[in-house]
Chain A
């Protein structure tokens, strides 16, 4: 049985599906639910990722069912809404997603989809009531629907593309840096001669989704891409590589070597590319070093975020930037099995540095963990700002939800992403160091947590 949550940051399955659909160029969601479901999504998801909505407002098609439909059923309302959406809204794909009430009433969404298809409309559907899970399940449900139903819409056979690799597990906006992260990982794949199929974000349209079966490899960035990769292996026999976290800095080299190895690419070329990327990052580290020492950059940190972020960022912070992990909180509700995988992949970091690893999504509980752990730097969502203030330490917003920070194309993945993170953290710590100098002596004392470890 699920428990009540204080200040949840994971919203619901419907909202997770909307995140996916709105990140595909040419796809339009048709919501079959109450009027407010899409508006909740706009306020609680789009608006908390300043720079987040695809259409310039709340979702553009929603059946907005009323009491009559709850009592007598709303299938005919959906039929009408779908037909008119096709006339009013420009799209290549209409993707019906359902909400709690229409699922409880038992509206026949597959039948309405079938009717649409019979009239040659490009329509697919997914059952996404909020009571089925959070945004992560929504991502999985939407990806599954796309993989399973899109081939049915394809009329002619297309020539098979070569060297394609699909990317899975980066959830738009739930990772605020999703677009930049996908582009960075894509750039790295191009660097070793592959054709990355990012699937979501700028310029990612249905063509990419139709190429999914062509891929030679599925790259699974977070645990949330695993079910899709398994489905593709079953349907098309495509192998997969699981990264277990965002590849930031050196981890990007490991990813490139693994992919190169798996696909039998020319090792020398891959190494040359990695060397070039690494040497640029090293140059940045060298240039930053004076600030690092002057600002007292090195300190212990608390990090609150999705599993892929916690794994990827904490590794770079610890093994490259010399920071000391203290409290790590994973907020995306991994299943029991995924939890133990995460435990083991983070064990060196946790045991080696005396850090503590927690799994929680309850705002009050997370704040308490960060508070009692103490740290000289907090990285998390806007919800952790208050506890960082209490500790009197610098605070960087890296996970959902954001406030007071605009992210359009910034990514923390890859080597360039590592430089971006260095820029953000460096600016923050530098300005904080200067501010503390001019304020009271008392605030100086509060930054001493680094000695307690």
Chain B
């Protein structure tokens, strides 16, 4: 049966045994995914973090000519306000459920909001994002979709996030991508192939996406980038592509698999192009798949030569780095740190699952006793770990980066710093050099206390991580 028949994909915990709470050595992590059943962990103390709704919102904010209707009480639109104001993307309307709606249901209100969005913006597509309240209420979103799809004559795509079904926010990407393909990609099956290549880019930094596109365009590849900055037509086109190239398997894996399994588009999955070596391997792999290996090799030699000259004597010799990033980026960055002679002091990743077994094995070979922490936005654990390790530098893309800064450790944020490709290495080297050269802001920040008790810092950092009892 087609995967797309279902209303939503299976949550990550069920599909890939995904863990979001764990602490131990990297080799022990491999064992977690080797047995029959991966035991889920829960936290007995937790802190605010991302959920599937937030991830779906962020992904959909990047779809052109679309409007998002958030079917929820007003606060569930707060992050959408952030995307609109800070990056100018994402037009949205919130259905603004009130107390009465939580008792009586709110199908009528949703219908009004969708019609309002249509009249205000005349978009190509309207997305309806569900919410905890819509899920608990069991509002019949499907009925509204079917009715208005005919009346307004445009695709209306329901995105069934709940905010509580999965502990892994990355499930939100799966749910959004599932919905998009289900409603926008057109009939399944083998299609006439075009010469085009899908570049799978899910919520990448804009300059990172441009860097990947720049390199592939230099090889003469005809690109269809999605879902970032894609329009509804991009998804139909994607089903006819020659193949799909990956940028971040964690976020886009579901998209690559569906295009492969439902539409026969080969999926070339590989580590992120972060660091000189990894970018070269990424480029070569793409070249091999497209039969332009020589051109790819030549481009790598040219670009890496230029970059090495630009980097001069940049080195991380003797520098201990703590890394807190989404998992594919963290693994890639740990290679980069090693590439420049630095030492990885420890890693926090947002989640860990079956997709990472091979990478974990490589990691263990390179850093045999490396400590791995799995947590999405649990700074109390991270600060406990980082304070013990006292690294020279912290590189992260986490929301609590300024809290880490209060430990007095130099910090480099990758949230808005591009990291991909040759330009990524150059930019990262600049940021890291500056952070290590002048550490006075970290020292000034260290005068602001962190929010935690001294008793907590004396406890083991995994104190609140427990095996889930079923």
Mask for B103-134, Cβ within 8 A of A = 1, else 0? Answer: 00000010011001100100000000000110
Q: Are B380 and A1 in contact (CB under 8 A)?
A: no
Nearest CB of B to A405, in Å? 11
Q: In B315-347, which residues have CB < 8 Å from any A CB? A: none
- Interface CB pairs A-B, < 8 A, 19: A6-B93, A15-B75, A15-B78, A34-B163, A36-B54, A36-B163, A39-B49, A39-B50, A39-B377, A40-B75, A44-B77, A55-B403, A55-B451, A58-B399, A64-B49, A70-B132, A81-B46, A100-B133, A101-B163
Q: Choose among B85, B86, B92, B380 the residue that contacts A88 (Cβ–Cβ < 8 A).
A: B380
Asked if A11 CB lies within 8 Å of chain B CBs, one says yes
Residues of A within 8 A of B136 (CB): 70, 101, 104-105
Q: Choose among A45, A56, A63, A64 the residue that contacts B450 (Cβ–Cβ < 8 A).
A: A56
Q: Are A8 and B464 in contact (CB under 8 A)?
A: no
The number of chain A residues touching the other chain, given as a range, is: 35 or more
Q: Are B86 and A39 in contact (CB under 8 A)?
A: no
Q: Are A14 and B81 in contact (CB under 8 A)?
A: no
The 4 closest A-B pairs by CB, nearest first: A44-B78, A38-B48, A12-B75, A57-B400
Chain B residue at minimal CB-CB distance from A364: B120
Nearest CB of A to B222, in Å? 34
Q: Choose among A53, A60, A84, A101 the residue that contacts B44 (Cβ–Cβ < 8 A).
A: A84
A60-B451, A100-B102, A104-B102 as given contacts; A42 in contact with B399, CB under 8 Å: yes
Nearest CB of B to A400, in Å? 10
Complex: A47 Cα to B399 Cα, angstroms: 10
Residues of B within 8 A of A85 (CB): 45
Asked if B47 CB lies within 8 Å of chain A CBs, one says yes
Residues of A within 8 A of B73 (CB): 12, 100, 129-131
Mask for B53-88, Cβ within 8 A of A = 1, else 0? Answer: 110000000000000010011111111111011100
Asked if A259 CB lies within 8 Å of chain B CBs, one says no
Q: In B25-51, which residues have CB < 8 Å from any A CB? A: 43-51
Q: In B402-445, which residues have CB < 8 Å from any A CB? A: 402-406
Residues of A within 8 A of B249 (CB): none
Complex: A393 Cα to B176 Cα, angstroms: 40
Complex: A131 Cα to B101 Cα, angstroms: 9
Task: State which of B239-247, B286-294, B452-460 sits at the interface with chain A.
Answer: B452-460
Q: Choose among A37, A48, A58, A101 the residue that contacts B82 (Cβ–Cβ < 8 A).
A: A48
Q: Are A41 and B164 in contact (CB under 8 A)?
A: no
Which residues of B line the A interface, CB within 8 A? 43-51, 53-54, 69, 72-82, 84-86, 91-102, 109, 112-113, 116-117, 120, 132-133, 136-137, 162-165, 167, 169, 377, 379-380, 398-406, 448-453, 455-456, 464
Q: Are A104 and B133 in contact (CB under 8 A)?
A: yes
Mask for A71-96, Cβ within 8 A of B = 1, else 0? Answer: 00000000011001101111000000
Residues of B within 8 A of A15 (CB): 75, 78
Q: Choose among B49, B379, B453 the residue that contacts A35 (Cβ–Cβ < 8 A).
A: B49
Residues of B within 8 A of A129 (CB): 73, 99
Complex: A64 Cα to B404 Cα, angstroms: 22
Complex: A55 Cα to B449 Cα, angstroms: 9
Given contacts A4-B95, A7-B91, A53-B402, list 15 more A-B pairs with CB under 8 A. A2-B98, A3-B96, A8-B96, A11-B77, A12-B76, A31-B48, A34-B132, A38-B48, A57-B403, A66-B167, A67-B162, A99-B132, A131-B73, A131-B99, A131-B133
Q: Are B164 and A70 in contact (CB under 8 A)?
A: yes
Complex: A101 Cα to B51 Cα, angstroms: 14
Q: In A1-40, which residues have CB < 8 Å from any B CB? A: 1-15, 28, 31, 34-40
Q: Choose among B51, B81, B97, B398 the residue that contacts A131 (Cβ–Cβ < 8 A).
A: B97
Which residues of A line the B interface, CB within 8 A? 1-15, 28, 31, 34-45, 47-48, 53, 55-67, 69-70, 80-81, 84-85, 87-90, 99-101, 104-105, 129-132, 134, 364, 382-383, 401, 403
Nearest CB of A to B49, in Å? 5
Complex: A53 Cα to B451 Cα, angstroms: 12
Residues of B within 8 A of A364 (CB): 120
Chain B residue at minimal CB-CB distance from A13: B75
Most interface-central of B48, B98, B377, B452 (chain A CB within 10 A): B48
Chain B residue at minimal CB-CB distance from A60: B451
Complex: A130 Cα to B102 Cα, angstroms: 11
Residues of B within 8 A of A34 (CB): 51, 132, 163-164
